[in-house]
Structure 1
């Protein structure tokens, strides 16, 4: 926590009941540019008092928002999409500066997707239908879907704006109001975007944003008695803490958590395509491996195992690390100092466990010219371990950085077994030219998303989430909309 700095580079404010304001405490949190390691902005250090105010505002707004005609909610979501489109470049630059996600990905991927998500949810808002159930001539029964109330949202630092909108669009379309706690280390893009809700015409209190520490503001939000549901994306450990915090309140939760996803390459695959898929799309470029769906376990059929190591090595060596604001950069830094230290520690863990580091391992200042501003940034070179056993920590634990393991397998059955040998169950990549094999393996892996001859494809119309310790509930798609609704059964006696 940075205290009160007199000449902060830039200060972002919370949004509570339609008003931009600092934390009640007057305290601030430093936001670090991960490309340089320097403070570039500050966000409010919100606490329980701020959460109380935000929840109260959301609860008041819910009384009228839930009864706002669906077509009017849809119109507001479309207006919000237009506002995001107008301000997309500025928002993309703020997010890149805040968490190191490269500008080409925030501008060409995240913000266009955000706009389309909002149009999708606008289209869904007036298509929330109930049903009638035939239970005999003496009665009529109808089932209707109703909003839950105040939704508490806690989002992560790797892609905060896109994840926030994916959740918020569904919740608003369903008639809920929202209090969001953005990530303490990357709050700026969501705080900046909060003003767009007023610009689009949303009533005060429908959307509220309170930045702060997870252990303070996040804990207060999760435990607040007037919050009807918590929607969380982040670590499995934090999900456990939220579960414990909300246990006595008996409120619904949805969790999109971590992963240790397998990327399976069969010998019959198009190896050119597979090489791009297991490096560029899955683990190294864009987010520098900081994705829950990162394909960090590369499983390769033995006849092409050595060739794939060589191919991945050439592809990784060509990746350009650098300033994430530079459009020529292909991979940026780790988003925050603590995570940078964690990723680097796993490099040592892998070597100590007896794995072979076949490429990468460089980090920080050693990757750039002396005197470069990037020398203080949180960079880790694309790294690949071979000679990995299934009991090694680098094989089993989520690293959340540009570090992958490559392991050989012999046949389809072994590949499926290896893919499922994980406490996580989020995603799986599959590379093969055999159609029947593709469908067999897709059916056999215990994950929420499977990509065949592609990787990391996500769409706002499709449900996304995991199994096992990767969580439950879904973001995106109509299944997500239903997660923000109660179902009510109404009986009418005709006798």
Structure 2
């Protein structure tokens, strides 16, 4: 039995799946719009897991459920529901006090927690993520929501005071922007979606939420929690083919904020459809081709350890993954030997396999694409360095270390988003700097060196090319309190617990001249709690 047959044999029959990880198909026949879970009797999309099941007829992808294929009609109805709930800023939600909005979100977190087991299982089955990483995604999302609540409390405390300048007294707070269209990615269908969805809601906006193509069912168990936690029309779901339902929403001109995580091509197309782009705020996390730079002064054992995690965590299906590695030619052979040894030690298996590192890739066409870019590299002078690199069986792809990669290859330019590690030799570090200058991407870079002068010489030019420079560590999003953004085609706007709240709101102020009449007026409003905006209430 060859290696591809061996990894193909990892797929098991239904009876061999551990009881706690089995999943009965979930057939979603409702969607949330205008505060109601509306029945759906139209066409549906079948959801097949990247996990294959061994059957007497051979390996077959497991059907895990179905969900509605909505049309422009339902999308427009959801938009009207969001507009009605916002009511030009006069609705219950945008005018609600911050403390009451927080109570609604806390209620949602509690109800969300009740669905943990099912949501974690759906992440595993729908996108092939390991049980450990699926559980971590859920728990990290809950932590993010709680951190957002605490951060908003802190922002509101600072805003509860009045400022006096040049005879004018004012209170400055953050107010909502309007209707938000939120579209998250498949690789972190819960966490990354909620890093825009949650701050958008809590700041008083109303929401249209379109789940990702892969990872749609993940959100189904939470629809009732949304319905029961927020006023009607605050959260509305949009289902259907993105090309069919989103262009019309943008062309309506009624979307105030586009929160999108995906490709820059799609983001640009959506933005262009808005009739008044100057009125549209975009919060975007887009393409990335994060580079690692390994110099002769690096600790190779540490570098390999960080690069293995950075390139292959969740099969490299992360925007923050390291997707190209530059290594100084003098140490290239040594580095490649250690990297190949580390790859060989990785465990390939099904999402519930204990200690698994490599699981089935989520996108059905990904194995063929990865074969294509590896073949293109080989045709242009590269080779697969590690044993069994690129071996494929259905949705399993064993990681491939490809060397030497050059600018004639697709792997040099394209974001592979999978378990392939392109390694580029360099003689002068200026070659690396030029690559990053010319790259359309500008998210992160990782520098591996223990020479202070060398590291400093790279930091200064690279902080003006990417948004985060990591020293002797992989690229990553967290901690969530740090800014997460990018230059060039990699992002628009900044996300962090604090920055996201700012991204989905605008500073507004109430001001008046400090006359005795105006002082009495302001005091009366505050003392009698006549306004939710103009208030000195202090949230504990």
TM-score relative to the length of structure 1: 0.88
Q: Partners of 1:95 and 1:85 in 2: how far apart?
A: 15
Match of 1:81 in 2: 109
The C-alpha deviation readout for 1:358-405, integer Å capped at 9, x for no partner, is 23543443xxxxxxxxxxx42222012112113422111111111121
Comparing 332-341 and 63-72, the one that deviates more: 332-341
- Asked if residue 114 in structure 1 is aligned to residue 141 in structure 2, the reply is yes
The C-alpha deviation readout for 1:328-353, integer Å capped at 9, x for no partner, is 42111221213333233212222223
Q: Partners of 2:359 and 2:251 in 1: how far apart?
A: 36
The C-alpha deviation readout for 1:443-472, integer Å capped at 9, x for no partner, is 422112222222225122222121101121
2:338 to 311, 318, 324: 311
The C-alpha deviation readout for 1:145-189, integer Å capped at 9, x for no partner, is 210111110111111110111111211221112111111232011
- Asked if residue 172 in structure 1 is aligned to residue 208 in structure 2, the reply is no
Comparing 172-181 and 433-442, the one that deviates more: 433-442
CA contact (8 A) 1:81 1:116 kept: no
Match of 2:347 in 1: 320
1:217 to 236, 245, 254: 245
Q: Partners of 1:449 and 1:202 in 2: how far apart?
A: 36
1:404 to 421, 426, 435: 421
The 5-angstrom pairing of residues 335-414 of structure 1 reads: 335-359=362-386, 360-365=388-393, 377-414=394-431
CA contact (8 A) 1:142 1:490 kept: yes
1:255 to 264, 269, 284: 284
- Asked if residue 450 in structure 1 is aligned to residue 466 in structure 2, the reply is no
1:485 to 505, 514, 518: 505
1:78–1:321 distance in 2 versus 1, CA, 3 Å: same
Any idea what SS the aligned residue of 2:95 has? coil
Match of 1:28 in 2: 44
Match of 2:129 in 1: 101
Any idea what SS the aligned residue of 2:77 has? helix
Match of 1:295 in 2: 322
1:454–1:81 distance in 2 versus 1, CA, 3 Å: farther
CA contact (8 A) 2:310 2:321 kept: yes
CA contact (8 A) 1:322 1:332 kept: yes
2:226 to 197, 210, 221: 197
| Larger gyration radius, structure 1 or structure 2 | 2
1:440–1:112 distance in 2 versus 1, CA, 3 Å: farther
CA contact (8 A) 1:80 1:118 kept: no
Comparing 430-439 and 254-263, the one that deviates more: 430-439
Any idea what SS the aligned residue of 2:63 has? strand
2:490 to 470, 481, 484: 470
Q: Once the 2 structures are TM-superposed, how far is the Cα of residue 87 of structure 1 from its aligned partner?
A: 2.6
1:397–1:248 distance in 2 versus 1, CA, 3 Å: same
Match of 2:80 in 1: 56
1:333–1:174 distance in 2 versus 1, CA, 3 Å: same
CA contact (8 A) 2:481 2:497 kept: yes
Q: Once the 2 structures are TM-superposed, how far is the Cα of residue 142 of structure 1 from its aligned partner?
A: 5.3
1:264–1:22 distance in 2 versus 1, CA, 3 Å: farther
Q: Partners of 1:22 and 1:263 in 2: how far apart?
A: 50
Match of 2:265 in 1: 237
Q: Partners of 2:257 and 2:435 in 1: how far apart?
A: 35
CA contact (8 A) 2:253 2:275 kept: no
- Asked if residue 422 in structure 1 is aligned to residue 446 in structure 2, the reply is no
Match of 1:371 in 2: none
2:166 to 136, 155, 158: 136
Q: Once the 2 structures are TM-superposed, how far is the Cα of residue 104 of structure 1 from its aligned partner?
A: 1.5
TM-score relative to the length of structure 2: 0.81
Q: Partners of 2:26 and 2:214 in 1: how far apart?
A: 15
Q: Once the 2 structures are TM-superposed, how far is the Cα of residue 438 of structure 1 from its aligned partner?
A: 3.6
Any idea what SS the aligned residue of 1:293 has? coil
Any idea what SS the aligned residue of 1:337 has? coil
2:69 to 20, 24, 45: 45
Q: Once the 2 structures are TM-superposed, how far is the Cα of residue 237 of structure 1 from its aligned partner?
A: 1.4
The C-alpha deviation readout for 1:35-69, integer Å capped at 9, x for no partner, is 22343211111221221222222223331111221
Q: Once the 2 structures are TM-superposed, how far is the Cα of residue 439 of structure 1 from its aligned partner?
A: 4.6
Match of 2:529 in 1: none
Comparing 45-54 and 251-260, the one that deviates more: 45-54
1:67–1:141 distance in 2 versus 1, CA, 3 Å: closer
Q: Partners of 1:440 and 1:147 in 2: how far apart?
A: 43
Comparing 429-438 and 350-359, the one that deviates more: 429-438
Q: Partners of 1:132 and 1:343 in 2: how far apart?
A: 58
CA contact (8 A) 2:119 2:221 kept: yes
Any idea what SS the aligned residue of 1:429 has? strand
1:122–1:237 distance in 2 versus 1, CA, 3 Å: same
Count residues with an aligned counterpart: 471
CA contact (8 A) 1:16 1:57 kept: yes
Q: Once the 2 structures are TM-superposed, how far is the Cα of residue 247 of structure 1 from its aligned partner?
A: 4.8
Match of 2:537 in 1: none
1:494–1:71 distance in 2 versus 1, CA, 3 Å: closer
